[in-house]
Amino acid sequence: MSGSKPDILWSPHHADRYVICDSELGLYRIGPVGSGETKAGALPLSVETAATLLAINSDTPYMKCVAWYPKHEPECLLAVGQANGRVVLTSLGQSHNSKCKELMGKEFVPKHARQCNTLAWNPVDSNWLAAGLDKHRADFSVLIWDISSKFSPEASVAAEKIRLSSGDTDSGLVVTKPLYELGQNDACLSLCWLPRDQKLLLAGMHRNLAIFDLRNTSQKTFVNTKAIQGVTVDPHFPDRVASFFEGQVAIWDLRKFEKPVLTLTEQPKPLTKVAWCPTRMGLLATLTRDSNIIRLYDMQHTPTPIGDETEPTIIERSVQPSNSLIGSFAWHPTSQNRMVVVSAANRAMTDFTVFERISLAWSSTTSLMWACGRHLYECAEEVGGEGTVEKDIATKMRQRAQSRYGHDTVQVWKNHLLAGGDDPQLKSLWYTLFYILYYTQSQLDLKQKQQGSKQALVYSGIKNIVKSSSGTTENRRCWSGSDRQTDVPRFHSEERSLALRLCGWINRGPDINVEPFLRSLEGEGEWERAAAVALFNLDIRRAIQILNKGASAERGDLNLNVVAMALSGYTDEKSSLWREMCSSLRLQLKNPYLCVMFAFLTSEPGTYDGVLYESSVAVTDRVAFACMFLNDAQLPRYMEKLTSEMKEVGNLEGILLTGLTKDGVDLMESYVDRTGDVQTASFCMLKGSPGEVVKDPRVQCWIENYRNLLDAWRFWHKRAEFDIHRSKLDPSSKPLAQKCIHTVY
């Protein structure tokens, strides 16, 4: 290797030792930085490892190739091929047993001097050493030497195995008669023994790859190719061989040796080395001349091909162990995906681990699993506990499906309880659907003349209901429990009353009676909201009563008494101190309902922006307030604006405005895009009366995705139950036809 780039050989016996082959042989031991094995002056290989020089051998000049004896004894025996064709056995001084001493300095000399290109020890019969030489017209290029004549397998050969040479050389250390001679009048550039049979030798000859069978040396199997350099067998797949020529790598299958099964992407510069990873199946590393990167080819497992032309799947990537140009590299024999790299210029060494590609798999139950090398990791969603993040929507839908969420068709509003009862948007949605279905059925029961239009009107949402409003009347009334006349005008019409019913404020009947609604809010502990609704209905005494009750309730807020006291001092004088102080201090109130109460009391008639645009107040309450206090010109504009906001953010409370119409589908689309909750979208849209809503492609997509989810979770009965539920609400949907079972031969 004099004048050429260095090479690296790992010890076949010690996983922490390797040899750098250059103008001399250097034995190194690798270990953790700062450990007892790593001596002072050790060469750093990485942040964690360093190498200590153990021995140097300068006795074999003109090195061209080196091979390490594969057996444990002699421990550190090396075969060195020289420029004159001689093969010399040498050691790095680590073993002093008798066998090693007998072999040290032994030379194997060809008839005609020419360069030795490659060496290969037989992994089974370790006394056999194959050498590949340059071409000579009167000699063979593949010589197989027996380093110890007593291990000769054939007596006839043993009789004439060792022919002593004449001259000054010690006759006992020079062997000139090889055990086998192969490849006459040819050149051999690379060699490797085939692990499936110790008698088979694969050689890269001048124009072909040849397999020699030592049981019959007169015959050989060969294939014509230019890819004859660097032949190497995949240690995990004995029938797979790699070789290269210039910048191209050929992958061969010895069972189909007529042509390469795969030719890898050609590199712009000539290749200098290819090597299979000994710890990872199907991973091949290649190095090109004057390069600082190593290219990796990951050959994936593929099904048995239908035709002979099918190529395996290859994943190609590059790694850069260091910034300097790489002279050579060698995979670690046992550490996974680890290699040592030596630079071409200053012989600096780097310990480098190729980080494995990470393969991800996400199960239908939201468990995340990934594989990295030989390790398999699983990450399951944390359930329960304080401070945990919100559950993934897939987990929520799965739990809701188990509780029969969406299937309660009698008391529809209870579906929000089946979903956990902690989502205000779902609560608003299911109450809205309950009121829509309830008042639709009421219209059908009354059998009025225009029942068809009334039914469609209920489904169309409050935005469309108020547009059709006619016969609106305006009235002014006193504060309940007070003889003072209020200057706040209120508006009334049949359509506005229907809107209030859909908001849940009032029940059926000609009178606007919010008392049942107030009692239900008190029962749920929503004292501030109940007080605000009472105040909007001009019952200030009832509002004060609710606040006092809330302050005295268990876990009640004592500050509600202060708010009640402030309310009791209400006056409608424009320049009063009460109005001035409430206008300036109301924004400091944390509860939005307390804030809008004082905004209402201090606003001018017809200008209630402080109430209408308080986003923390429920949409149902803002819509009901607007239906009571906005005139026919203001009300549609506000409804349009609020509907646009709801559709843009996908707020389910907006279904109250859009109804189960195309606008409702648009809003639901925004909601699904934001949350992925196809379950709620499917159940909600199936409640729609107009057939065109259910037939919308988006709705059908949500329904099919939800069915697929149920199948993925193996909720076969839940999916069948959903199909039955769907067929009842949407008669146009037919059950899936039973598929025929086909037999595959």
**136 assigned to some structural domain:** no
Residues 338 and 474 in one domain: no
Tokens of 643: 């509907």
Residue holding tokens 């000859």? 205
Cα 613 vs. chain centroid, distance in angstroms? 42
Domain C-terminal end among 638, 658, 678: 658
Identify the three-state secondary structure at position 62.
coil
The pLDDT score that the predictor gives to residue 451 is: 45
Residues 346 and 465 in one domain: no
**573 assigned to some structural domain:** yes
- CA distance to 320, 321, 322, per residue, from 46 (Å): 14, 10, 10
pTM, entire model = 0.62
Residue 425 to residue 290: CA distance in whole angstroms = 64
The pLDDT score that the predictor gives to residue 169 is: 45
DSSP letter for 572, please.
Answer: -
CB atoms near residue 583 (< 10 Å): 15
Residues 333 and 473 in one domain: no
Least confident segment among 87-101, 685-699, 722-736:
87-101
Domain count, the chain: 2
Least confident segment among 44-48, 277-281, 738-742:
738-742
Residue 250 to residue 263: CA distance in whole angstroms = 5
**545 assigned to some structural domain:** yes
Dihedral pair phi/psi, residue 38, rounded to 5°: -90, 110
Residues 346 and 417 in one domain: no
> Is the pLDDT reported for residue 575 higher than 70?
no
Cα 484 vs. chain centroid, distance in angstroms? 68
CB atoms near residue 278 (< 10 Å): 16
Residues spanned by the domain of 52: 1-64+327-352
Residue 116 to residue 129: CA distance in whole angstroms = 13
Q: Peptide bond before 270: cis, by omega within 30 degrees of 0?
A: no
Cα within 13 Å of Cα(82), Cβ side? 17
**607 assigned to some structural domain:** yes
Residue 9 to residue 485: CA distance in whole angstroms = 103
The pLDDT score that the predictor gives to residue 3 is: 47
Tokens of 91: 């050691």
Residues 348 and 480 in one domain: no
Tokens of 659: 């109804």
Query: Three-state SS across 440-457?
Result: HHHHHHHCCCCHHHHHHH
**358 assigned to some structural domain:** no
**23 assigned to some structural domain:** yes
Nearest to residue 231, comparing CAs of 255, 256, 209? 209
Note the residue count of the chain.
745
> Is the pLDDT reported for residue 117 higher than 60?
yes
The pLDDT score that the predictor gives to residue 153 is: 38
Residue 456 to residue 470: CA distance in whole angstroms = 17
Give DSSP secondary structure letters for 127-141.
Answer: TEEEEEE---TTSEE
> Is the pLDDT reported for residue 176 higher than 60?
yes
What are the pLDDT digits (tens) for 418-463? 998 888 999 999 998 888 888 777 665 554 444 445 556 777 888 8
Residue 273 to residue 247: CA distance in whole angstroms = 10
Residues 343 and 470 in one domain: no
What is the average per-residue pLDDT within 401-416?
89
Cα within 13 Å of Cα(93), Cβ side? 11
CB 527 within 8 A of CB 493: no
Under the banding of pLDDT at 50, 70 and 90, the label for residue 574 is low
Residues 346 and 486 in one domain: no
Cα 520 vs. chain centroid, distance in angstroms? 48
What is the average per-residue pLDDT within 545-565?
82
Residues 418 and 339 in one domain: no
> Is the pLDDT reported for residue 648 higher than 70?
yes
Residues 434 and 334 in one domain: no
> Is the pLDDT reported for residue 644 higher than 80?
yes
Domain C-terminal end among 658, 689, 721: 658
Residue holding tokens 């059950």? 735
**8 assigned to some structural domain:** yes
Domain C-terminal end among 635, 658, 681: 658
**49 assigned to some structural domain:** yes
The pLDDT score that the predictor gives to residue 449 is: 42
Cα 647 vs. chain centroid, distance in angstroms? 32
Residues 333 and 479 in one domain: no
For residues 387 and 312, the model is more confident at 312
Residue 283 to residue 317: CA distance in whole angstroms = 11
Residues 331 and 439 in one domain: no
Beta bridge partners of 284: 276, 297
Least confident segment among 275-284, 301-310, 396-405, 502-511:
301-310
Residues 502 and 645 in one domain: yes
Residue 88 to residue 97: CA distance in whole angstroms = 19
Least confident segment among 244-258, 295-309, 689-703:
295-309
